[in-house]
Amino acid sequence: MAEFARCSGVEAEVATFEDWDPAGRDFDAVVAGTAWHWVDPVVGAAKAARVLRPGGRLAVFWHVFQTPAEVTAATVDAFERAVPDSPVDLQVMRQSVAAGRTMVEAYQAIFDKAADGIRAAGGFDASEQWRFDWERTYTRDEWLDQMPTHGALTGLRPDQLAAVLATVGDAIDALGGSFTMPYATVAVTAVRTGDVSRR
């Protein structure tokens, strides 16, 4: 990703956020897109507070999608067949659909953990949770092109991935060859206030 950014003229520094050296710089915003769950929520928020100017904003967000029940079931079934010994548990997807819960509800614990980290770190006003609903229609091929980028699938062998994609493709074909996916982009955000030790 850093190399891709550099090829398009964007300066990129590679480090974990917790270990990244701001080299005396400060910023108006710290933004993390679908990545803050890999950052220690308290250490990361404290680091953000140190590098933000007063009035600067920390905004961490996730795109939460809800595949149709048929596509969800096909994904979980195919994954479990292809990788029966995987430590990855996709059951939360199946359970959410069966219980009538949305994936946003299933992800709420992640949002709460980010908000708790901001509160524990100090240096911010009360965090807010912002939600933006939108949707996108995918053809069979568009969705199958995107699936290999999903965390649970990135480490599969080619034969395992092919088996999962074939099963999911069949499910999409049964829906008419496309489907409309509802998304919710949810941000946990807070403004830097007060004095923060800057290291």
Q: What is the pLDDT of residue 197?
A: 56
Mean pLDDT of 163-178: 96
Mean pLDDT over each residue of the chain, to the nearest integer: 91
Q: CA end-to-end span of the chain, whole Å?
A: 28
Domain 1-192 = CATH 1.20.272.10 = no
Percent of the chain's residues with pLDDT above 90 = 73
Residue 96 has pLDDT above 80, yes or no: no
Report field, pTM of the whole predicted structure over 0.85: no
The tens digit of pLDDT for each residue in 122-153 reads: 999 999 999 999 999 999 999 999 999 988 88
Mean pLDDT of 75-100: 77
Q: What is the pLDDT of residue 198?
A: 52
pLDDT band at 196 (very low <50, low <70, confident <90, very high): low
The tens digit of pLDDT for each residue in 17-59 reads: 999 999 999 999 999 999 999 999 999 999 999 999 999 999 9
